Amino acid sequence: MKRKNILGKIKRLINYPFSYNTYEHRPDYILIIALGLICFFGLLMLSSASSVQAFQKFNDSYYFLKHQLLRGFLPGLIIFFIVSRIDFRRWRKYAFYLLVATVVMLILVFIPGLGTSYGKAAQSWIKLGFLSFQPAEIVKLTFLIYLATWLAKRNEKEIGDFEYSFLPFLFLLAVIIFLILAQPDLGTLLVIIAMAFITYFVAGAPWKHIIGLIFGALLVLFIVVQIAPYRLARLTSFLNPTLDPQGTSYQINQAKLAIGTGGLFGLGMGKSRQKFNYLPEVSGDSIFAVIAEEMGFIFSLLILSLFLIIMVRGFKIARASPDNFGKVLAVGITSWFSFQAFVNIAAMVGLLPLTGIPLPFISYGGTALTVSLVASGILVNISKQTKG
């Protein structure tokens, strides 16, 4: 009996830094399995989709896969397991400092010698020796944690107050919008805006505030499109894909061709034709088109089903969350993954204009994969403390 008491004390001492609640139940295994499968299929399809581009640029067909494994998946998996054991409520204590740190990093991308771009991409990376990462991807999570912390402190009356809640929310969002637009990275910005609006609404914001924000976002989007001719060209090509088939409409036409060629069961793993320099961004935001071409409609439907499972389980976790902070945080993470997946796939099949938004857990990008896995770890921890 004495030995059991000693072991119990040791166990509580070990668990103390990680959890407020020593009576946590099992996590949502359906969510974990869905995340595991989508990461596995993502690495598998990346190895095929990027092989031609990797061999041409680096003389190594598995270059992108190796980078995704070593700089995205493995670090993300390790942090996922650590974060899934840390009580999600502890993040409230560090929310402000995490946000400030990432805002500073968003500024550092403009400093010569630190900030860099790849090809014609945005000035979105910080490079430190052999290590490079995208602060804009990190700010998705840190901004969400801060937003959930800030909203959880306010009751329904306070959230509905124009000066006390709406204006501070708008100011904070405007700072993030300005820094990301300066890079510019419209795809990431759209995800952050959508995630912020949804969490603000779930926290209890009145409809008049949400409608005002939507009109404001549309105005910003209109200005952004007018400033950059290539964004207006993307919108024009979406409305009329046959207008410039060798120019602005080229990517969407090649994506549709790849998806149509795949049929029900696809051409077979590794047998994509479009990845041979016909379809741009085969390892990035166009990877779903290669998946559909090689694996067909049935497998593509499986990928969609996995994202749907993540969305359903995520919102279920949010509904059963033990407190308002957990609810807002779970909704934010789930809406982030769901919105990003929906916009990417919808753009590939021609339902939305191309925005450059990658497919979460699948498209190439070490920072994006690591941050997504960290956010998933937080969601898993919330699932361990749900009620009912």
- The answer to whether residue 273 sits within a structural domain is yes
Q: Where are the beta strands (DSSP E) in the chain?
A: 115-116, 125-128, 131-133
Domains in the chain, number: 1
- The answer to whether residue 330 sits within a structural domain is yes
In angstroms, the CA 174 to CA 210 distance is 15
In angstroms, the CA 32 to CA 363 distance is 19
Q: What is the pLDDT of residue 16?
A: 45
Q: Are residues 274 and 293 in contact, defined by beta-carbon separation less than 8 angstroms?
A: yes
pLDDT tens, residue by residue, 309-346 = 999 999 999 999 989 999 999 999 999 999 999 999 99
pLDDT tens, residue by residue, 76-106 = 999 999 999 999 999 999 999 999 998 898 8
Q: 373: Cβ–Cβ under 8 A, 6 or more apart, which residues?
A: 35, 39, 73, 76, 77, 79, 80
In angstroms, the CA 255 to CA 287 distance is 9
pLDDT tens, residue by residue, 169-224 = 999 999 998 888 888 788 888 899 999 999 999 988 888 888 888 888 888 878 87
- For 243, the 3-state DSSP assignment is coil
- For 131, the 3-state DSSP assignment is strand
Q: What is the pLDDT of residue 219?
A: 85
Looking from the CA of 276 toward its CB, the CA atoms found within 13 Å total 4
Cα distances from 341 to residues 271, 337, 358, in angstroms, run 24, 6, 8
- The answer to whether residue 340 sits within a structural domain is yes
Provide the whole-model pTM.
0.90
In angstroms, the CA 115 to CA 134 distance is 10
- The answer to whether residue 300 sits within a structural domain is yes
Judge whether residue 380 has pLDDT over 50.
yes
Tokens 């992108």 label which residue?
A: 64
- The answer to whether residue 19 sits within a structural domain is no
Residue 357 DSSP code = P
- The answer to whether residue 327 sits within a structural domain is yes
Judge whether residue 108 has pLDDT over 80.
yes
- The answer to whether residue 4 sits within a structural domain is no
Cα 193 from chain centre: 12
The parent domain of residue 118 ranges over 42-383
- The answer to whether residue 27 sits within a structural domain is no
